[in-house]
Amino acid sequence: MESNNPEANFADQHNILRSRLNQKGLRLTDQRQKILDLFVMTPDGEHLSAEDIYYQATTKGEKISYSTIYRALHMMVNLGIMREVELAEGRKYYELSTSPAKQHHHLVCVHCGEVHEFEDHRVTKASQQETLGHGFLLRDCQFTVYGICQMCQLSVI
């Protein structure tokens, strides 16, 4: 779902969300649209927490509650628009979903929380084989590796 044209990306994401909402008998509210807009404008590799969304929205003058944000995020995860990832200390972060063929994974420093994204087609391929072998349909593949980054290794020594 990547595009070099931000306006096209907005339109694509909104059309996908609107279509999936319509299939479930739901509608694209202004608040859902604004939450989605934040993710479309977020640079690749960055993840947003509910707190980040609340801060960014209220800084722009939006009136939105945490419960609305959490409901919208969970709904978008269930519809396959968003991906929920747990990167550090039990905190949940969100990012736009990608197709299973373009899955990426995370390397997380347990000291400073730095996150590096990486692609490894072997992980995706193994996930696809396992899901097929057990009669599952692959929806998402998340592989998170926890370690200590180079900077933190220097401070530990």
Domains of the chain with CATH codes: 1-97 (1.10.10.10), 100-157 (3.30.1490.190)
Task: Return the axis-axis angle of helices 30-41 and 50-59, rounded to nearest 10°.
Answer: 100
Tens of pLDDT, residues 84-135: 888 777 778 898 887 655 678 889 888 888 888 888 888 888 888 999 999 9
Of 1-15, 21-35, 142-156, the poorest mean pLDDT is in 1-15
| Average pLDDT, integer, range 1-22 | 64
What's the predicted TM-score (pTM) here?
Answer: 0.74
